[in-house]
Amino acid sequence: MQNTQIDSQNHEQQLAYELVANTNSSFFLTGRAGTGKTTFLHNVQKLAGKQFITLAPTGVAAILAGGDTIHSFFGLPMEVCTPGTCGKMNEAKILTLLHADTIIIDEVSMVRCDIMDAIDYTMRKVLRNNMPFGGKQMIFVGDMFQLPPVVKQGPEKDMLRDLYQTDDFFFYKSDAIKRMRLVKIEFRKVYRQDDEHFLHILENVRLNKVTPEDIMHLNERVCTPTEDDGAVITLASINKTADKINLQHLEEIEAEEFVYEGTVDGKFEEKKFPVDLELHLKVGAQVMFTRNDQQKRWANGTLGKVTKLTKDEISVTLNNGETYVVPCCSWESYSYDYNKEERKMKKELTGTFTQYPLKLAWAITVHKSQGMTFDKLSLDLSRGMFAAGQLYVALSRVRSLEGLYLSKNVIPQYAHTSREVLTYASEYNNEQQIGNEIESGKAVYEALQHNDYDEAAKQYLMLVAKKAENGDIKEAMQQAKRFLDILVCDEHLYGAIESVPECLLHASHWAPKFLVALLSLYADKFDDALVYIEDVLAKHQCPEAMYIKSRALAKLKRYKEADETNCQLANVFEMATPDAKVLFMIAMLNEMHIGDPGLDLMRKLVEARPKYNLGILALRTLMQCHNLKLDKQSNNNCELVDLFNSDATEEEFLAQLRICREKAPKAIAYLIRRIKKQEFNEEQPDAE
């Protein structure tokens, strides 16, 4: 694969690129070791023309990915995140999130479901958008066959069990992911390893399909590396074993010990240190490089032996016999910021950590080896390998079978894979689902790029009709959900549907009936819509069905009944993560037909959807009905606010609003600020 290109011969890469570059659709990207996930993500960020944020669950992973940690960016607590947990984000990070197009969550196999739900809730609340993850494109990256999320035994695990009714706390168990249709793309082409026989064994271990022949071939590698083998790292199952091995080997060397102190400039959290702040070395110590060399003399994970030490110089000899003086390296820690003047997102350098890119490497844990690759490794099996995915992670760290050394025989029980993960993986590379996702994503992408929610909603509605006509109920329901997520005002949609598919009319399940109700509503068959949606509500209570019922009643001019339905809908409405279509509907019904207050609801809609021109226009119309004008600072002249308060026609105001969107963003920003600060002295109706 070329450095900055997408591999045209890799079908899965092409699909993933299409989703990133030409849609706003979220997806899961996976692939076994060496399939080029990291390279693809680096390349796509250069090619797609979007603003990206990269996050990871651990400090070291975040540094390697060039991003921030999940907890740091979203301000999440370290303990279990209960429902409604909202991160504490500062203004700079909120602005960054607001102007980002795509959020990449790397190493997602290590992220618990409760953290994923907290990310979703925080994004919906901060962005004032009830769509999943606040409407942002999310790319979840990781290999679910690797080690699962860490959960402490005791109260933490008990609470998670109670919240999610499972013992598996993978990211996709979160309520947020369950509400989405998350397509799953698995990269299959391997770029890193060229030992085809070993690749076959690895794949069988990964998928829990290990054969007696696989075990036999692995156990042929039970042997102890000799000095002639050069530097060989040991992977241990626990920290205690790895530390013991390293300390024991260092103490056995009869040579002077040198201590090298790293330095920290600015803000760089200790938990993000990629190597020890104090590096203890002796001549003869086995070390591992933790950073790729710009001159490509070594890579992250390359092993060597210390051959010379002075107060300010370290020489290391690699397995190939080459000896190099190792320079200090600096790792950078970033926070994201949004530049208002340039209207671009930038990563702000917050601190640097400088140290030699080395660590003692006679042994490390399997867990810490994730993401690394070695030419040779010795696998310590003294304590077995019983955690799901542990043997696969350990074996996939080495490039070839010849580079593997086992301390004792592998037994079939070590090749343990979570059944839960196997079930999830059975849905990888579903061509029909991915095709549907690309189709729907591309249909609305241009509209969403221009914040044209009305056109996006229309495109989704057309997809609902198309999929329903084809008898694909599941896909039609998926697009119906997205239609109702993106919808704000639906007045432009009445009459858009020509007919309701006959194949749906006599179905007994609530889902086809829901589709009949939805399509009947926008085919101007309001009585039919009401009959079918009442049937749905009798079997399946949901806010989406209540919305359709209210709109059908309003179109039948049964305003009081529509208001009663809205009151029921308000009971499940959360203002912290507002549903734009519900705000718009209730505000207009209250003001135009019921006589209840709706101005403040419409103001909140504008606050939640500041780029939705028809929301601003609707607020202006309602204020004119009450002979109200927008307050403005006496010393601040703004033609757009003056036009808002004038008797200009709707067409004239809307035309100027569109011009300002393109040429005078500061005027738009000032108008929105004045709307947010506007107070309405509305008498609230008594609670029933």
Residue 587 — pLDDT band, cuts 50, 70, 90? very high
Q: Is the pLDDT of residue 232 over 90?
A: no
Q: Is the pLDDT of residue 536 over 70?
A: yes
What single DSSP character describes residue 202?
H
Q: Is the pLDDT of residue 193 over 60?
A: no
What percent of the chain has pLDDT above 70? Answer: 94
Q: Break the chain into its structural domains and give their ranges.
A: 11-188, 238-375, 451-572, 574-687
**Nearest of 488, 466, 60 to residue 275 by alpha carbon:** 60
Q: Give the pLDDT score at 63.
A: 59
**Nearest of 382, 420, 417 to residue 396 by alpha carbon:** 417
More confident residue, 229 or 475: 475
Tell me what the mean pLDDT of segment 389-408 comes to: 92
Rounded Cα gap, residues 64 and 68, in angstroms: 10
Q: Is the pLDDT of residue 685 over 50?
A: no
Burial class (CB in 10 A: 0-12, 13-18, 19+), 382: exposed
Q: Is the pLDDT of residue 345 over 80?
A: no
Q: Is the pLDDT of residue 214 over 50?
A: yes
pLDDT digits (tens, 9 = 90+) for 451-470: 899 999 999 999 999 999 99
Q: Give the pLDDT score at 495.
A: 96
Domains 11-188 and 451-572 share a fold: no
CATH classification code of 451-572: 1.25.40
Query: Which amino acid is residue 140, in one-letter code?
Result: F
Q: Is the pLDDT of residue 36 over 60?
A: yes
More confident residue, 270 or 296: 270
H helix runs in 487-595, sequence order: 510-521, 526-539, 543-555, 559-570, 580-589
Residue 226 — pLDDT band, cuts 50, 70, 90? confident
Indicate the CATH number of 11-188 among 3.40.50.300, 2.40.50.100, 3.30.70.600, 1.10.10.60. Answer: 3.40.50.300
Query: Which amino acid is residue 271, in one-letter code?
Result: K
